[in-house]
Amino acid sequence: MMPMKARWLLVPGLLLASGLVLVQHSMQAAAEGGSHVAASFQDEPNKPPDEDPASPAEFLWQRPDPSLIRDEPLQVTVPKGLPPLTPKTVVPLGNPITKGKYELGRLLYFDPRVSLDGTVSCATCHNPDKGWSDGGKVSTGIDGQRGNRNAPTVFNTAYGKNMFWDGRSPSLEGQAQGPMINPIEMGEQKHEVIVKRIRQIPAYRETFRKVFGTDVTLDGMAKAIATFERVAALSGNSKYDQYVTGDLKAMNESEKRGMVLFGIRPDPDDEYEPTVELQKAKCTLCHAGANFTDEEFHNLGVGWNEAKKKHDDIGRWAPEPIGQKDDLSLGAFKTPTVRNAVLTAPYMHDGSLKTLEEVMDHYNKGGNPNPSLDEDMKPLKLTSEEIADVIAFMKALTGEVKTTAELLPKALPPGPDGKSPDPVAALTAPGA
Ligand code: HEC
Ligand code: HEC
- List pLDDT tens digits, range 162-198: 999 999 999 999 999 999 999 999 999 999 999 999 9
The 10 Å CB-count burial string (b at 16+, else e) for 271-309 is eeeeebeeebbbbbbbbbbbbbbbbbbbbbbbbbeeeee
Nearest-CA residue for atom 13 of ligand 1: 151
Average pLDDT in the chain:
90
Cα 413 to Cα 107, 197, 204: the distances in Å are: 8, 13, 7
Q: Give DSSP secondary structure letters for 154-171.
A: -TTGGG-SSBSTT--BSS
| Nearest-10 Cα torsion for 265, 274, 298, 377 | 150
SS (H, E, C) 178-246: HHHCCCCCCCCCCHHHHHHHHHCCHHHHHHHHHHHCCCCCHHHHHHHHHHHHHHHCCCCCCHHHHHHCC
**Minimal CA–CA distance to 400: which of 75, 74, 80, 2?**
80
For 286-323, how does the pLDDT look when each residue is reduced to its tens digit (9 = 90+)? Answer: 999 999 999 999 999 999 999 999 999 999 999 999 99
Domains of the chain: 6-234+402-427 (1.10.760.10)
Site residues for ligand 1, CB cut-off 6 Å: 26-27, 30, 120, 122, 124-126, 139, 141, 147, 149, 151-152, 154, 157, 160, 163-166, 172, 175-176, 179-180, 185-186, 225
Q: Where are the beta strands (DSSP E) in 210-339?
A: 297-298, 304-305, 310-311, 333-334
Helix (H, G, I), strand (E, B) or coil at 40: helix
Q: 47 pLDDT band (50/70/90 cuts)?
A: low
Q: What is the pLDDT of residue 431?
A: 87
Distance 299 CA to ligand 2 centre (A): 10
Nearest CA residue ID for atom 10, ligand 2: 335
Alpha-carbon distance of 71 to 334, in angstroms, equals 36
Percentage above 90 pLDDT, the chain: 87
> Which of helix, strand or coil describes residue 321?
coil
Rounded (10°) angle between helices 99-110 and 218-232: 100
What 3-state DSSP class applies to 231?
Answer: helix
Q: What is the mean pLDDT of residues 120-126?
A: 98
Residue 89's φ and ψ, nearest 5 degrees, are: -80, -35
Is pLDDT of 252 > 80? yes
Q: What are the tens digits of pLDDT across the range 378-431?
A: 999 999 999 999 999 999 999 999 999 999 999 999 999 999 999 999 999 998
**Closest Cα to atom 25 of ligand 2:** 347
Across the range 190-209, mean pLDDT stands at 98
Nearest ligand to the C-alpha of residue 177? 1
For residue 332, list its beta bridge partners: 315
Q: How remote is the CA of residue 336 from the centroid of ligand 2, in Å?
A: 7
Read off the pLDDT band of 55 (50, 70, 90): confident
- Which ligand 2 atom is nearest residue 347's CA? 27
Which of 130, 137, 262, 286 most suits a substitution to test ligand 2, by most atoms within 8 Å of the C-beta? Answer: 286
Residue 50's pLDDT is: 59
Distance CA 182, CA 320 (A): 21
- Let me know: does 339 contact 352? Beta carbons within 8 Å: no
Adjacent-strand bridge partners of 163:
169
Q: What is the pLDDT of residue 90?
A: 97
pLDDT band at 44 (very low <50, low <70, confident <90, very high): very low
Q: How far is the CA of 206 from the centre of ligand 2 (A)?
A: 44
SS3 384: helix
Whole-model pTM: value is: 0.91
User: What is the number of the ligand closest to the CA of 280?
Assistant: 2
- The number of the ligand nearest the C-alpha atom of 378 reads 2
Q: Which atom of ligand 1 is nearest to the CA of 176?
A: 35
CB atoms within 10 A of CB 263: 20
Question: How far apart are the CA of 354 and the centre of ligand 2, in A?
Answer: 13
Contact, 81 vs 290, CB < 8 A?
Answer: yes
Q: Distance (Å, rounded) from C-alpha 176 to C-alpha 191?
A: 12
CA-based torsion, 132, 138, 139, 140: positive or negative: negative
Listing DSSP states for 326-360 in one string gives -GGGTTBEEPPP-TTGGGS-SBSTT--B-SHHHHH
- C-alpha atoms less than 13 angstroms from C-alpha of 276 in its C-beta half-sphere: 29
Average pLDDT over residues 1-6: 39
From 155, 161, 175, 302, the mutation candidate for ligand 1 (largest count of ligand atoms within 8 A of CB) is 175
